Homo-oligomer: A and B are copies of this chain.
Amino acid sequence: MRNLPDSVSIREVGPRDGLQSESPIPTADKIRLIDALGRTGLRRIEAVSFVHPRAIPQMADADEVWAGMTRVDGIAYSALAPNSRGAARALDAGFDIVEVVVSASDTHNRKNVNRSTAESLDDITGLITTLHDGGATVEVIVATSFGCPYEGDTSVERVAGIIDRVVGDGADRVAFGDTTGMATPRRVDELLTRVRGDHPDVPMLLHFHNTRGTALANVMTALDHGVTEFDSSVGGLGGCPYAPGASGNLATEELVHMLHDCGIETGVDLDALIEVAELAEKLVGRTLPSGVLRAGPRTRLTATD
């Protein structure tokens, strides 16, 4: 087999990235979901987003969720902050890991925050300083890294330029978002070939959507490049509210299921995780797209009558 890592670090993004594009659910249900995820062995959870309630009403209760949930020792909880107001709220709430976002596509960035990519990068320069001063580490998420639903292909050079810029500004980590599921193994290969060498010490995380079925093939390609950090969403909750036609983050249980069968540890109890996916499905009230949720893991056998 290819040279696979011994372990992979999964960041669960269902409570934030997932729920922000589902119909709003009560605060108590969000807390229930995060607390349940905290008992599965997951060690990183993106808990909330400090975005303006008018922009994303699903996240209006971020402070209440964070105050109400049980913080498990050993789990790194993070928050997304779209701007300086959000960064201040995240720091006030006590988060020490904060994500900020910029889209590689100008059009997508404007649709998202009504600013150009360049303007958002200028904002991020300031956000990094603010967050560092407040004692938090900062991850910059580059949305539409593998393609934009409005502009089409995203050039590898454009993404590489953004990474150079934010790393120069002090970003502690970077993430590549496949916002609407346009990544394929070739795109993953081309981007990682271009950017890994320039920043060998900067942790890089990949965030795939399974919109066109390629998410796990993309993960395998990223593993070939030595990437060992991935986002995924329990049950496949979510999509992207700004991208019509987008559907489905990679489901955490599909990721864990494949990795474990390939001999790669994640620390996650798959059976417990599937139970949380069942809970997530109940809380959002729609059928979630996860195959492992539907069919169970390959080890779940059928009785012969």
Q: Name A's B-contacting residues (CB within 8 A).
A: 1-2, 107, 111, 147, 149-152, 180-182, 184-187, 189-190, 210-217, 219-221, 224, 243-248, 251, 254, 257-258, 261-263, 290-292, 294-299, 301-304
Would you call the interface of chain A mostly helix, strand, loop, or mixed? Answer: loop
- Residue from B213, B292, B301 within 8 A of A215 (CB atoms): B213
Please, which residues of chain B bring their CB within 8 A of the CB of A212? Answer: 254, 257-258, 291-292, 295, 297-298
Q: How far is the CA of A182 from the CA of B299 in the complex (A)?
A: 8
Contacts of A111 on B, CB cut-off 8 Å? 304
Count of this chain's copies in the oligomeric assembly: 2
Question: Please, how many angstroms separate the alpha-carbon atoms of A297 and B180 in the complex?
Answer: 11
Most chain B CB within a 10 A radius of its CB, from A186, A292, A303, A304: A186
The residues of B that contact A182 with a CB separation of less than 8 Å are 298
Alpha-carbon separation in the docked complex, A263 to B214 (Å)? 15
Beta-carbon contact of B262 and A302 below 8 Å: no
Measured between beta carbons, the chain B residues less than 8 angstroms from A210 are: 213, 291
Residues of B within 8 A of A211 (CB): 291, 294-295
With A213-B251, A251-B213, A254-B212 given, is the CB distance from A246 to B295 under 8 Å? yes
Closest to A189 in B: B1
Q: Are A1 and B186 in contact (CB under 8 A)?
A: yes
Known contacts A181-B295, A261-B184, A291-B247; is-contact A149 B301 (Cβ 8 Å): yes
Q: B residues within 8 A CB of A180?
A: 295
Cα of A131 to Cα of B246 in the assembled complex, Å:
48
